[in-house]
Structure 1
Amino acid sequence: MRSTFSLRRRLLVSATIVLLLFLGLTGLALDRAFERSLVSGQAERLFLRVLNLLAESELEGQTLWLPRYLSEERYNSPESGLVALVLNGERHIVWESLSSEWLDVHDWIRAQPAIEPGQEQFGEQGGYVYERYAVVWENRDGTDQLFEYWVLEDATPLNSTLQTFRRQLWGGLSGVTLALLVALWAVARWGLKPLRTVAENLRQIRAGDKARLEGHYPDELRPLTDNLNRLLEAEQGQRERYRQAMADLAHSLKTPLAVMRTLSPGDEAELNDQVNRMDQIVRYQLQRAVTEARTGPVLGQRSSLNLALDRLGKALEKAFLHEDKVLDLPETGEAQWDVSLDNNDLLEVLGNLLENGFKYGRSVISVSVGELEGEPDHWVVDIDDDGPGISREKRERVLARGQRLDTLQPGQGIGLSMVKDILASYGVSLRIDDSPLGGARFRLVLPKA
């Protein structure tokens, strides 16, 4: 079943509607213009005939005289369809042409109200078009006499001409509409061909015959095809990273497993240490696979620094309950610190940094949140401790991530390298400075949500 959301169908339906409206309105305009032109021409011809009758008229006393046989032969034949009449002021017919013998509208003509002298009127009645004109004749004795001249002509030729024009007009427009619809169908099919090519290439990619979209595409489709290719490359790279991460994980677990094989039943502390290390390795390798697969921040992500700090503060205070250390969190008040990070990533970053502070701080771990001048779109988070700090020459090495986990410095763990990887996936860097408390300061500049 063909989808009702077909682009080609939408284009054809919308173009058909617009085309029909345009050609329909055009046809109506042409029809009205031709009809007005035809009627106007007919009215002018009849008025000229009225003037010719006036030229042949004479007033003898109180009587209007016109020749019985007029110069235009159509007035003299009942079959000609052209009739002339003259009415006086009392609406009586005082003269009529020989062609009026078969005319049966005398009563209707007499019933029409008189028009003012010098006025003319054109109309259609009883199968005739007519033109009438009122004129005042001045008698020799100075009195005036009103006469109304009528010229009527069979409306059949006029209506026939109009009907012929309409048949030709609407027939021609129908033919043009059909031809344009066929052309639109061909244009839509040709114009949407690149989309069918994309669909076919995607089918081949799904079948494993191709690895990416190939071929030349219109400029309008290049952003789509380029992004699809990047998406395909990212997906393939992600699968490759997962395979590499699993290989690195297996390789990294060899050493702890080898140590565990040599342990005696009473070495519980060493066993626990190796189990914890294995747990760290597993989490790190999986996290590395995820963070490296991400190519940048995702639109629409929103996490609350307020909630994350509150949650982590409570958890860490319980974890380090027996240590005489204080966690100084910022007063939130009505401030709302939202950042454009995934909530799990935010918890992982802050959790590692705060835990690092608890491990190496002597008595105080302080967190502050604010804005820096020139950074209105970012929150600045500083995590300070009063521990031994990190020397300048060791800062880069602490944050460096080796290809092998075994190369990490003793005592530093993998937390800071994991934090760096997560932040790098968002385009954010981790900066280490000297803390006012005497230890290390970890500074984050996080994008606002």
Structure 2
Amino acid sequence: MSWGQPRSLQARQLLAASIGLVAFLALAGYALDRAFLETAESNLYQRMSSYAAAYADSEFARDGTFVPPYMPPDPRFDRPGSGLYAEIVLPNGHWDSTSSIGPVLPDGKLLEAPMETFEGPLEITEINGQVGQAYRYGRGLIYVGGDDPDSEFPYTIYILEDTTALSRQVEVFREALWRYLGGAGLILLLLQGLILRWSLRPLRRVIEELKRVQRGVTSRMSERHPRELEPLAESINAFIEIERENLDQQRNTLADLAHSLKTPLAVLRARLDDNVPEAELREDVDLQLRRMNDLVSYQLARAASSGHALFSAPIDIEPHAEQLVRSLEKVYAGKGVLCEFDITEGVQFLGEPGDLQELLGNLLENAFKWANSRVLLTARPGETAPNRRPGLLIAVDDDGPGIPPEKVALVLQRGVRGDERVQGHGIGLSIVQDLVRAYRGVLDVRASEELGGARFEVQLPPRL
């Protein structure tokens, strides 16, 4: 694998988990090692303190010399160079245990009672001449020999133990600790790999389904996916459906255009073959050309309106509406139509700017065409759904004659005008209907309660 090639998700997660696991095991091992060492030193302190207490129960001779116990608290005190040493520091001398014969130990000083010290490791010279280390515990005491206060004198007991036994314990513990931690780390890494493979199985299933869709084995992805992958599957299915609809729309548009042009072309061919007078032929050619121009304009408009994107940046409605209204007020200046806005602040259209222009333009132009003096444009948020952007409601009311309920379906048909005396191609409302269908919305035409004319209401559902 080259350095520039990105790692897979499984490799990334396994690497991150491995680094985290190694760091955790290292910190845990260090913490356990320190805890064991502190515990061992504490046990050593307690043991040396008990040895000092045993020597503190000993007596002193009349001349002030120390009389050791008949049985030392540990046999090692009677074995030279054993690693466990005792020293009694007196005001005018000191006493050393038999084990101190041979090694060179650090000199202790007299401590005030009841002072205690625990030092180490201190450097010593062992009986074989090698340099070693030892811990030293000291306790300051006062001996009271009788009722005479002058017989009291201070003394200090020192207990020394080399680090051989403690180092051996620590070494054994560390060996066992890192062996067990290493084994646990390998097992955890194996489990982590299995868990990652199991957790990434839904992603591999998504990839397999995409490959099946690409090969044409299936038409869409299944809906049984983990909750985190449901938006991805829904988006991919939506892309597939939109692409399929766009392809079908393009095919239908070309087919409809070809079918629509066949009749005018056939009429022209027949008139040419009939050798009709030139004036009559010119009139027929003009009529059929205008008819073909209307058909081409309609099909191009429908094709342009069919390619809206699934994910689009939100578009503010009010600026587009104001621009359209200003243009329409100039076109219909003779009628003096006034357009009012009832637009919720911040309401937006989730789609292509061209679709918004077609939708508002055709609805407003139709309202201006039939209104007597007033038009009302309403825009506010529509329905909401979890994990989706809110829908949209757009309505255009006019105070014109209105549309009888039985003629609503007729008016929405392609090429049909509500009144043949009014100029137009009869495709504006059909474009609106096609746009609304493309956005999975609903177009409702009814009487206007506010202005008394017609009300064209568009409801667009929530989108991804």
| Fold shared per TM-score above 0.5 | yes
Report % sequence identity: 31
Structure 2 CA distance for aligned equivalents of residues 272 and 366 of structure 1: 37
Residues 49 and 151 of structure 1 are in contact (CA less than 8 Å); yes or no, is this contact kept in structure 2?
Answer: yes
Partner of residue 328, structure 1: 338
| Superposed displacement of residue 147, structure 1 | 0.8
Partner of residue 59, structure 2: 57
Query: Structure 1 pair 56/268, CA: closer, same or farther in 2 (3 Å)?
Result: farther
Residues 308 and 346 of structure 1 are in contact (CA less than 8 Å); yes or no, is this contact kept in structure 2?
Answer: no
Structure 2 CA distance for aligned equivalents of residues 65 and 327 of structure 1: 126
* CA-to-aligned-CA distance 1:187-236 (integer Å, 9 cap, x gap): 32343234234324423433445544469755654554455345334433
Structure 2 CA distance for aligned equivalents of residues 52 and 437 of structure 1: 111
Query: Structure 1 pair 383/310, CA: closer, same or farther in 2 (3 Å)?
Result: farther
Amino acid at match of 1:231: F
Range with bigger deviation, 282-291 or 390-399:
282-291
Range with bigger deviation, 220-229 or 123-132:
220-229
Residues 213 and 229 of structure 1 are in contact (CA less than 8 Å); yes or no, is this contact kept in structure 2?
Answer: yes
Query: Structure 1 pair 277/146, CA: closer, same or farther in 2 (3 Å)?
Result: farther
2:404 aligned with 1:394, yes or no?
A: no
Structure 2 CA distance for aligned equivalents of residues 183 and 35 of structure 1: 32
Amino acid at match of 2:361: G
Structure 1 CA distance for aligned equivalents of residues 189 and 73 of structure 2: 56
Range with bigger deviation, 31-40 or 420-429:
420-429
- Helix, strand or coil: the match of 2:454? strand
Partner of residue 15, structure 1: 17
2:174 aligned with 1:166, yes or no?
A: yes
- Helix, strand or coil: the match of 2:259? helix
Residues 339 and 379 of structure 1 are in contact (CA less than 8 Å); yes or no, is this contact kept in structure 2?
Answer: no
Query: Structure 1 pair 65/343, CA: closer, same or farther in 2 (3 Å)?
Result: same
**1:5-84 alignment runs, 5 A limit:** 6-66=8-68, 70=72, 72-84=74-86
Residues 420 and 430 of structure 1 are in contact (CA less than 8 Å); yes or no, is this contact kept in structure 2?
Answer: no
Report the TM-score, using the length of structure 1 for normalisation: 0.79
Partner of residue 130, structure 1: 136
Structure 2 CA distance for aligned equivalents of residues 48 and 331 of structure 1: 96
Amino acid at match of 1:146: P
- Helix, strand or coil: the match of 2:149? coil
* CA-to-aligned-CA distance 1:140-188 (integer Å, 9 cap, x gap): 2223211100111121111121122112212321232233223322332
Structure 2 CA distance for aligned equivalents of residues 224 and 372 of structure 1: 29
2:132 aligned with 1:118, yes or no?
A: no
| Superposed displacement of residue 374, structure 1 | 11
2:398 aligned with 1:384, yes or no?
A: yes
Amino acid at match of 1:122: F
**1:258-297 alignment runs, 5 A limit:** 258-262=266-270, 266=279, 268=282, 270-288=284-302
Query: Structure 1 pair 226/432, CA: closer, same or farther in 2 (3 Å)?
Result: closer
| Superposed displacement of residue 341, structure 1 | 5.1
| Superposed displacement of residue 95, structure 1 | 0.8
Range with bigger deviation, 212-221 or 346-355:
212-221
Structure 1 CA distance for aligned equivalents of residues 158 and 377 of structure 2: 100
| Superposed displacement of residue 44, structure 1 | 1.4
Partner of residue 105, structure 1: 105
Structure 2 CA distance for aligned equivalents of residues 315 and 20 of structure 1: 72
| Superposed displacement of residue 372, structure 1 | 8.7
Query: Structure 1 pair 281/223, CA: closer, same or farther in 2 (3 Å)?
Result: same
2:344 aligned with 1:342, yes or no?
A: no
* CA-to-aligned-CA distance 1:275-297 (integer Å, 9 cap, x gap): 34334333434554665676x98
Query: Structure 1 pair 419/181, CA: closer, same or farther in 2 (3 Å)?
Result: same
Of residues 263, 275, 279, the one that matches 1:255 is: 263
- Helix, strand or coil: the match of 2:26? helix
Amino acid at match of 2:138: R
Query: Structure 1 pair 408/245, CA: closer, same or farther in 2 (3 Å)?
Result: farther
Residues 423 and 430 of structure 1 are in contact (CA less than 8 Å); yes or no, is this contact kept in structure 2?
Answer: no
Partner of residue 420, structure 1: 433
* CA-to-aligned-CA distance 1:39-68 (integer Å, 9 cap, x gap): 111111111211222233334253333269
Mind listing any 5+ residue stretches in structure 2 that lack a counterpart?
A: 124-132, 384-389
Structure 1 CA distance for aligned equivalents of residues 85 and 197 of structure 2: 62
Amino acid at match of 2:97: S
Query: Structure 1 pair 433/159, CA: closer, same or farther in 2 (3 Å)?
Result: same
Aligned length: 431
Of residues 287, 299, 307, the one that matches 2:320 is: 307
Residues 347 and 381 of structure 2 are in contact (CA less than 8 Å); yes or no, is this contact kept in structure 1?
Answer: no
| Superposed displacement of residue 299, structure 1 | 5.7
Amino acid at match of 1:135: L
Amino acid at match of 1:45: R
- Helix, strand or coil: the match of 1:148? strand
Residues 82 and 153 of structure 1 are in contact (CA less than 8 Å); yes or no, is this contact kept in structure 2?
Answer: yes
Which has the bigger relative contact order, CA under 8 A and spacing at least 6?
A: 1
Amino acid at match of 1:328: L
| Superposed displacement of residue 345, structure 1 | 2.0
Amino acid at match of 2:83: G
Cα RMSD after superposing both structures: 4.0
Query: Structure 1 pair 310/236, CA: closer, same or farther in 2 (3 Å)?
Result: closer
